[in-house]
Amino acid sequence: MNPDPKKNKTRLLNILFLAGCAAILAFLLKAPPESTKKLPQDEIHLQFYPLDKKEAEKHCASCHAPEGQAPLPEGHPPKYRCLFCHKKYQ
């Protein structure tokens, strides 16, 4: 009696699917912890918490420009998406 080839194919696809899911899960579990500083909760930054990200980011360059009060360090990534990395405290 020959095994049903359709069942074997389905079983193989299920095993491949589970192996793929396990590989993705293992990859995600090995991700490094978040290391970027969050948006400070001080009197200067609290005014930006109620704004949505894009609106708040328009104000970052006023202080964090090279000639501003708190310039960004050398080699800092692009400055137009600040709150993409520097998340707000919840």
Tell me, what DSSP letter sits at residue 47? G
More confidently predicted of 68 and 49: 49
What is the C-alpha to C-alpha distance for residues 71 and 61, in angstroms, rounded to an integer?
Answer: 9
List pLDDT tens digits, range 13-63.
999 999 999 999 999 999 998 888 899 999 999 999 999 988 998 888 888
Check whether residue 52 and residue 81 sit in a common domain: yes
Domain-located, residue 58: yes
pTM: 0.59
Check whether residue 50 and residue 26 sit in a common domain: no
Domain-located, residue 40: no
Cα–Cα distances in Å, from 33 out to 30, 36, 77?
Answer: 9, 9, 19
Domain-located, residue 12: yes
CA–CA–CA angle 87, 88, 90 (5° rounding): 125
Residue at 23: amino acid letter: A
Domain span including residue 19: 1-31
The total number of structural domains that make up the chain = 2
